[in-house]
Structure 1
Amino acid sequence: MGAARVGLGRIGADGLATFALSNLIILATGGLSWLLLWTHALRWSRQLRCPGRGRCILVLGQQLEAGAPGPGYRLRLLRAVRLARRNPEARILVLGGQTSPQGPTEAAAGAAFLRRHGIAAERIQTEDASRHTLENLRNARDLLAREPHDDAPLVLITSRFHLARSAAMARGMGLRVCPCPAELGSRVSAARLAREAWMLHWYHVGRGFARLIRHRGMLERIT
């Protein structure tokens, strides 16, 4: 049985505490704190354009559908294909563990998709132990730290609605990233963006709270 997406019951006492605190702050501010982040996420989703070049391309995984990349994940992978073709020296790191009950990991399915679209296997690296965005990025950072690298920013590919949160988490971990939307157009789901703003609010509250109380364990998980 494969690992499922991480729910509230699996995030631990610290995560539940910051989740509750984040929601209390939203209520206490009459939703204003959430609205500010929603506005920020909306601006990002509409204005960002993909960089033309990047020597290392990170592709955030997405839960598979019947063991294969779904429409949103395929858009992320196709964006990576286009960037890799523009820059023959670029390599691609596909992120994502097993989040569906059966079938391959997100990273393995993504790597197979890239190979079918003409990307040589030696240009593709996978990280297949993570279950969510925070683990995606933390594991990517640890993998990249073991290898020679330059100071060029990493190209971070994900869906437009997910850009603001993933970029905030990456930069919180010390990664220099250039966010790149998977979609060519600027339209984004209002419902998904609302949820992302809520999740981003939780991340910022948790990070600020961990710094305030100097909780080493919490900081190690999110920075």
Structure 2
Amino acid sequence: MGTPRVGLRRIGPDGLATFALSNLLILATGGLSWLLLWGYTLRWSRGLRCPGRGHCILVLGQQLVAGVPGPGYRLRLLRAVRLARRNPQARILVLGGQTSEQGPTEAAAGAEFLQQYGIARERIQTEDASLHTLENLRNARDLLVGQQDADEPLVLVTSRFHLARAVAIARGVGLQVCPCPAEPGAQVSAARLAREAWMLHWYHVGRGFARLIRHRGMLERIS
């Protein structure tokens, strides 16, 4: 069994407080606040086409299966391969730390997969200290400081069910991104969409609450 991606210690008391507040808001609105975000997440999962070019491709990792990328992660990596082949100047940043008890980090496994499909090692950069989407994208921003033209959006590759939350967080940490779904089709698991809407609700409630009370520490962690 893999280790949890996010433990209680890593969330911290502020995260737990906003988690509770988010769930209370869902209950107080009779689920309406969650339902609105579910519809928003559904539209994101169905309505996007992948950009043809991009000079920097961010690939969000996913927990490994027996030490190697599972089906969903492979789709993300294969999308990055196709994008990189269209633009030989593009580089790829693979994101993800060690979320399994044994084996490599998500980023290292992803980089090895890309090389097996003919992407040169010098085109690949890895970030292997993050355990969840917020850390993925915050660390990516810090790695790319000074490397990226501010007017050039990054191509953000992830699964369709994950796009809405990933883009919200990316923009929240100051990244200009062009979202790219990993899968060619628009069929998405209803259960996964429901969970993503719930996680996105938590993110927006936490961000809004931190701004409302002007809590610098909370804002620094989520932006």
Same fold (TM over 0.5): yes
The residue type paired with residue 112 of structure 2 is A
CA distance in 1, matches of 2:99, 2:54: 28
The residue type paired with residue 182 of structure 1 is A
Matched, 1:184 2:203: no
CA distance in 1, matches of 2:149, 2:65: 34
Matched, 1:22 2:22: yes
**2:56: which partner in 1?**
56
Q: Percent identity?
A: 83
The number of aligned residues is: 222
SS of 1:186's equivalent in the other structure is: coil
Matched, 1:128 2:128: yes
Q: In 2 relative to 1, CA 148–166 (structure 1 residues): closer, same or farther, beyond 3 Å?
A: closer
CA displacement 1:94-142 (0-9 Å, x = unmatched) = 0000000000000000000000000011100000000100000000000
**1:174: which partner in 2?**
174
**1:108: which partner in 2?**
108
Matched, 1:208 2:208: yes
**1:88: which partner in 2?**
88
The residue type paired with residue 21 of structure 2 is L
The residue type paired with residue 214 of structure 2 is R
The residue type paired with residue 72 of structure 1 is G
Report if the CA contact (8 A) 1:61-1:107 is conserved: yes
Report if the CA contact (8 A) 1:95-1:140 is conserved: yes
Normalising to structure 2: TM-score of the pair? 0.97
Structure 1 stretches of at least 4 aligned residues deviating more than 2 Å after TM superposition: 7-10, 146-150
Q: Name the Cα RMSD after superposition.
A: 1.2
State the shift of 1:5 in Å.
1.1
Consecutive unaligned residues of structure 1, counting only runs of 5 or more, are none
CA distance in 1, matches of 2:89, 2:214: 42
The residue type paired with residue 59 of structure 1 is V
Report if the CA contact (8 A) 1:22-1:201 is conserved: yes
The residue type paired with residue 191 of structure 2 is A
State the shift of 1:151 in Å.
1.7
SS of 1:92's equivalent in the other structure is: strand
Consecutive unaligned residues of structure 2, counting only runs of 5 or more, are none
CA distance in 2, matches of 1:49, 1:135: 26
Matched, 1:10 2:20: no
CA distance in 2, matches of 1:3, 1:190: 25
CA distance in 1, matches of 2:148, 2:161: 32
**2:142: which partner in 1?**
142
Normalising to structure 1: TM-score of the pair? 0.97
SS of 1:11's equivalent in the other structure is: helix
